[in-house]
Amino acid sequence: MTDVAADRDAVLAALDRLTAWSEMARSPQLTRFLSYIVHKRLDGETQSVKAYSIAVDVFGRPADFDPQSDPIVRVQARRLRALLDQYYRGPGTGEAVQIQLPIGRYVPDFVLVAAPVVPRDEASVPTFAEPELDLVPAHEEKRPRGQVTVSWIVLFVIAIGVAVLAYSLSSWGPLNRPAAVAEPLLRPPELRIVDFQNLTDTPAVTTALSALAIELVTDFQPFIAVNVTYDGRGDVAVPDDVQDDYLLSGLVRQETPESDYVVNAILTDLDTNSVVWNLSLAVPPADLFESGRIDAISQRLVSSLGTFRGPLHAKARAALSNGNFAGQEGFYTCALLFNIYRASQATGAAGRVRSCLAALPEDQRTHPSLLAIEGSLIAETSDTVRVTPSTQMARFGQANEFISRALQAAPTSSFVWEQRARLHEAMGAHDDAEGAYSTSLQLNPASVDGAAAHARHLALMGRLEQALPLAQRAIGALPVSNVPAWYQCVPALGAYRDRQFARALQLAELCARVDVEVGAPLGIVSAQELGDAGAVERLLPRVLEVSSFRGYGIMTQLRRRSTDVELLEHLRTGLSRTGIPPMSLVAAF
């Protein structure tokens, strides 16, 4: 491949085809962004292509714009890279001139492709190996999902890798940070990222790892409660005046020149100098250097670390586990309590979030994420046993006001867009929900909750083939003990479709712990297929107690949740067989 910047007409023709593509055309901001940087490069003005000029000229930010406090350019650059990669892997496969945006830069490259690229089918897309972790002594708690017992041979290989990493880290300097004194208020964790060590004989791997570290920093930006700094290949020893809580480091090794690279990531708690998390990914050699694959590696790591259910927030979750957070109120505490609520949908958990929000000063409550949280609580919880259509629509309207204010203040917040999507879904506006979910995941592809929520919506739309891998990605990013029950709604629907009724019943009952509207009816029809009368009797009272079912009618509410005609007919038939009066299926009772 060669740079073809001199062929202005060819580049502009390639730009025209790109901006006419439907996925690009639906985002006017990204179209302006791409056109801006392409024309600047063609006009020889590369020195002026900076985050500041892009923010002001393209995104309309004021002259006092601060790139450090407003990540809009980094976020939109990520979205643009993802769309470019999608285009050239799909409809733009045969393009002779490709416009590429390298990681860490805003100046594009114009590349002449020697021969058309053959489209890669799904089977050829590389997958990462499951994490390889140490064996657990018999007296210890079972390892979370992904931290599996392995053979002694594999364990020996991992031990060598960890020993090499320990040696390499010691060559930089010891982790000599003294134990910190507990702070009176919970606060977001501080994470420092350093370049991973290259233990291969390939110098180009070092460059790829520098790009990985930068991408990791960028991928953490959309998460609302992690503060991240990048320290390159600097000294690992932490100065006394630095308040970092965790260090993310790692290495890349290769057993033979023909084998896959193994990327080992390690999270160190700097208060105790102990490793609290590690993950090993097997990456085919070519994919470490291929466009878009570094981002995939980064997202795999950040999906496990960025979530509130990950190791970075374990201490704070433990501090809140007794339900007493008096004196701990703050943005971070309220956001974490909301995440705990989302995992259970319990009325008591929602009340704790409201109490936290009420204790905040008024100026803090206007934070966009907290506005979105307040809107979601209004839409999703009710103080009455039976919700009438008029009262529910009033709640939706009030929720929409909060979330709209949040979006106006933070239009590139993936978290706020996820709350917008959930509200549209609850209202039955499924096309709008799909658009909002897509925007949320474009802004933060590593969001585990966002992926799981989108997967559930796709499944209820009858698009299980798209939903199942998305749901499995979300489930696989978390330890088994931290996977919310509602993540299992999609696998339950998949098992029912495949006539694996015993598994469908098991997963549906898990789903019903949080999403009773989906889980309980699905569990009933699965139990009927198995002839399990006890399970039907166990689940039927749960269906009859659902406030939305009582306020609208069971099938009326289910038709708001799902557009899958075949699934709805199965549910209607199964619920009718339980003896529920026909009118209760379609009207309030």
- HEC per residue, 33-71: HHHHHHHHHHCCCHHHCCHHHHHHHCCCCCCCCCCCCCC
> What are the tokens at 541?
């009272």
The residue out of 283, 304, 325 marking a domain boundary is 304
Q: What is the pLDDT of residues 484-499, one digit of tens each?
A: 999 999 999 999 999 9
Residue 128, in any domain of the structure: no
User: Could you give the maximum distance between any two Cα atoms of the chain, in Å?
Assistant: 75
- 239 shares its domain with 98: no
> Could you list the residue range(s) of the whole structural domain that residue 102 is in?
2-121
What is the DSSP code string of 438-501? HHHHHH-TT-HHHHHHHHHHHHHTT-HHHHHHHHHHHHHTS-GGG--GGGGHHHHHHHHHTT-H
Q: What is the pLDDT of residues 336-352, one digit of tens each?
A: 999 999 999 888 899 99
User: What pLDDT sits at residue 419?
Assistant: 97
Query: Average of pLDDT values for 349-375?
Result: 93
User: What pLDDT sits at residue 102?
Assistant: 84
Q: Which residue has the higher pLDDT, 142 or 88?
A: 88
Sort strands 274-283 and 227-230 into parallel, antiparallel or unpaired: unpaired
Domain count, the chain: 3
- 93 shares its domain with 230: no
- 52 shares its domain with 13: yes
User: What pLDDT sits at residue 162?
Assistant: 46
Residue 186, in any domain of the structure: yes
Query: Average of pLDDT values for 146-172?
Result: 42
Query: Average of pLDDT values for 110-124?
Result: 56
- 579 shares its domain with 500: yes
pLDDT of 124 > 80? The answer is no
Query: Average of pLDDT values for 183-208?
Result: 85
Rounded to whole angstroms, how far apart are CA atoms 142 and 138? 8
- 164 shares its domain with 116: no
Residue 441, in any domain of the structure: no
Q: What is the pLDDT of residues 256-309, one digit of tens each?
A: 888 899 999 999 998 888 899 999 999 988 778 776 678 889 989 999 999 999
pLDDT of 2 > 90? The answer is no
Write the single-letter amino acid at 78. Answer: R
- 572 shares its domain with 484: yes
Q: What is the pLDDT of residues 34-51, one digit of tens each?
A: 999 999 999 888 888 888
Quick one: CA dihedral 371, 30, 28, 446, positive or negative? negative
Report in angstroms the alpha-carbon separations of 435 from 295, 413, 440. 23, 14, 9
- 222 shares its domain with 284: yes
Instruction: For residue 321, name the pLDDT band (cuts at 50, 70, 90).
Output: confident
- 116 shares its domain with 219: no
pLDDT of 114 > 90? The answer is no
pLDDT of 78 > 90? The answer is no
- 109 shares its domain with 183: no
Residue 472, in any domain of the structure: yes
Query: Average of pLDDT values for 222-227?
Result: 89
Instruction: For residue 5, name the pLDDT band (cuts at 50, 70, 90).
Output: low
| Residue carrying structure tokens 């089977």 | 123
- 110 shares its domain with 178: no
User: What pLDDT sits at residue 343?
Assistant: 92
User: To the nearest whole percent, how much of the chain has pLDDT over 90?
Assistant: 51
User: To the nearest whole percent, how much of the chain has pLDDT over 70?
Assistant: 83
Contact indicator for 132, 280 with CB cutoff of 8 Å:
yes
**What's the CATH number where 220 sits?**
3.40.50
Residue 486, in any domain of the structure: yes
Residue 232, in any domain of the structure: yes
220's CB contacts (< 8 A; 6+ apart) are 191, 226, 228, 302, 305, 306
Residue 397, in any domain of the structure: no
Contact indicator for 442, 82 with CB cutoff of 8 Å:
yes
- 174 shares its domain with 96: no
Query: Average of pLDDT values for 372-401?
Result: 86
pLDDT of 192 > 60? The answer is yes
Phi and psi torsions of 65, nearest 5°: -55, 135
The whole-model pTM stands at 0.72
Average pLDDT of the chain, as a whole number:
83
pLDDT of 87 > 50? The answer is yes
**What's the CATH number where 507 sits?**
1.25.40
User: What pLDDT sits at residue 74?
Assistant: 78
Q: Which residue has the higher pLDDT, 139 or 572?
A: 572
Residue 474, in any domain of the structure: yes
The residue out of 271, 304, 337 marking a domain boundary is 304
Instruction: For residue 69, name the pLDDT band (cuts at 50, 70, 90).
Output: low
- 97 shares its domain with 160: no
State the distance between the two ends of the chain, measured CA to CA, in whole angstroms. 68
User: What pLDDT sits at residue 383?
Assistant: 58
Cα–Cα nearest to 148, from 480, 507, 474: 480
> What are the tokens at 577?
């067989």
The residue out of 304, 336, 364 marking a domain boundary is 304
pLDDT of 156 > 90? The answer is no
